[in-house]
Chain A
Amino acid sequence: MSKSKCISWLIVLSAALASVAAVAQDRGPVRGETFVIELDIFSGRPNPRLVLDDPAEVMAFTQKMKESCDRASAVRADAAPEYPGILGYRGMLVSRSMDGGAAERSFSISGGSMRMAKQHTPLACQSRTNGLAADAAGDVHLLGMGLGLEHHVVQLALQKGVIDTVAYQVILQGLSAR
């Protein structure tokens, strides 16, 4: 084999290996937290779901969540508002998974309050919930988070085409009524 042919093969091989590495990176195990957010807005139709597994989107979401949790107050279960059962925008139901594991229902957010399974508290809120006693259902309750996290998710859902402008307006109307 000539030297030039050898170099060509090396180039092809390197490109192939790089391609395999890139694929392996794309399909490799997911590290850290990922979230599936169900926008609880419909009655008859299944609710839309926003999947957050892009690292930048996860980071932006967790940053917002941390800000919201840090400003919230913890309350006992009997003082926490019930999750609304109304027609229209009700809230968001969030499942969380760690390192590509099975998604577990982690928390719900509605009108600036959060009900969270203590066992599945997201990392961003753990500093806020450490030391809090869970209620009989294993949940902790936070109030006064503000609506920033919900607005952030709704904007992202619209941008990603998970909801259309009609659903977007219904959610904004629901948030403004809180």
Chain B
Amino acid sequence: MRLTLTLGLRLLALAMFTSTAAYAQTKVQPGSAGNQITFTAAGDISLDGGQCFGGVASPPAGAVSVYGGKATAKNGNLYFQGAITWSSLVFPDGTTVRSGGTTLASMTNAGALYLRGKCLNAAGCRNTTWEPSRWNDGGAVQFNNNCYNYGNDKITGTFAQPGRASGNQSPYPPTVVEVRDGALTDGLTWVGWTFPGNTYDCGNGHLVFMAVAPGYDYHWWRLDQVKGVWSHKPGGTAARNVDNSNNTITNPLLADRGVYTENGGFYCTCGGMANIN
């Protein structure tokens, strides 16, 4: 069964989060842009455009409230005040959404979302989240995937290099211009040199940042949308969500990046779907 409803924002809140009704696989229309949200029976939130963001205390200007202000929507993106927990098997007290006897999601009064599935959009881009167990296996995944794999949220097992998949790999030592060119030909899209904010609307995909250690190497960071902080994976070591001084990264331009001092710019990429190798 797949219901398509066109509802006002108040009804959207009721449709998505109610403690009694089963509204799985219900399409709702959160904003005037016409982008629709599908809440599937598998517990995924599927967006026609945009992504989910968690840990957003200050939603972007013009976002409209969809759950008493604890969540907002704009241009097909959903912004939750609290953190988002993917693949959750626990659903703390709050309002819940169920399909038959199965709880698919809940939202706490603080605006934290617990979701049985993930947040996906029509382009298939994964919502990036801090999930170290996916990368830090102390074996093949960890050793054979680098910062570019991690930034693009794509495991290739090839220590992916910017431009290699598109025949435009930069020579050694890398420069900002060359690494940027390689990434752009791989399909990443340019955002700019200045910090765009952690609720930047990529449309499809998520934000990444690149920096170069002059004459030496390059490095990538990614925005984990579910907590509004950045994480990265230095080479074949474990993914981490702190900088070289062990501080949380809310803006990679201000983080302790060690020798990676040269700003290589911000980009958008489609998580899990980028053309990298």
What residues of chain A have their CB less than 8 Å away from a CB belonging to chain B? Answer: 40-47, 83-88, 90, 164, 166-167, 170, 173
Q: Which of B252-266 contact A (CB under 8 A)?
A: 257-260
Q: Mark B238-255, 1 if CB is under 8 A from A, else 0.
A: 101000100000000000
Known contacts A43-B146, A44-B146; A87/B216 CB under 8 A: no
The answer to whether A90 and B220 have CB atoms under 8 Å apart is no
Contact of A45 among B174, B237, B238, B258 (CB under 8 A): B174
- Supply 26 A–B pairs (Cβ within 8 Å), ascending by A: A40-B235, A40-B236, A42-B216, A42-B217, A43-B146, A43-B260, A44-B146, A44-B147, A44-B148, A44-B161, A44-B162, A44-B179, A45-B161, A45-B218, A84-B237, A85-B238, A86-B234, A86-B244, A87-B234, A87-B259, A88-B259, A166-B173, A166-B215, A170-B213, A170-B216, A170-B259
Instruction: Report B-chain residues with C-beta under 8 Å of the C-beta of A84.
Output: 237
CA A38 to CA B4, docked complex, whole Å: 56
Q: Inside 8 A of B161's CB, which chain A residues have their CB?
A: 44-45
B-side contacts of A40, CB under 8 Å: 235-237
Interface residues of B in 190-241 (CB under 8 A from A): 213-220, 232-238, 240
* CA of A170 to CA of B32, assembled, Å: 53
Is B159 part of the binding interface, using a Cβ–Cβ cutoff of 8 Å?
yes
**Which residues of chain B are within 8 angstroms of A41 by Cβ–Cβ distance?**
217
Instruction: Determine the interface band of chain B, counting residues with CB < 8 A from chain A.
Output: 20 to 34
Closest 4 CB pairs of A and B: A87-B258, A166-B215, A44-B218, A43-B219
Closest to A84 in B: B237
- Flag if A88 contacts B237 (CB, 8 Å): no
Residues in A with CB closer than 8 Å to B146 are 43-44
Of residues A43, A46, A84, A90, which shows the largest number of chain B Cβ atoms within 10 Å of its Cβ?
A43
A46 to B144, CA, bound (A): 9
Name the distance in Å between A157's Cβ and chain B's nearest Cβ: 15
Contact for B240 among A42, A45, A85, A88, CB less than 8 A: A85
Tell me the smallest distance from the CB of A83 to a CB of chain B, in Å.
7
In the complex, which residues of chain A have a beta carbon less than 8 angstroms from the beta carbon of B173? 166
Are B172 and A45 in contact, CB atoms less than 8 angstroms apart?
yes
Q: A85-B240, A87-B244, A88-B244 are in contact. Are A47 and B235 (CB under 8 A)?
A: yes
Known contacts A44-B161, A46-B159, A87-B260: does B236 contact A167 (CB below 8 Å)? Answer: no
- Residues of chain A with a CB closer than 8 A to B238's CB: 85
Beta-carbon contacts of B103-129 to A below 8 Å, as 1s and 0s? Answer: 000000000000000000000000000
Q: With contacts A86-B244, A86-B258, A166-B216 known, is A43 near B159, CB below 8 A? A: no
Name the B residues within 8 Å of A43 (CB-CB). Answer: 146-147, 217-220, 232-235, 260
Shortest distance in angstroms between B235's beta carbon and chain A's nearest beta carbon? 5
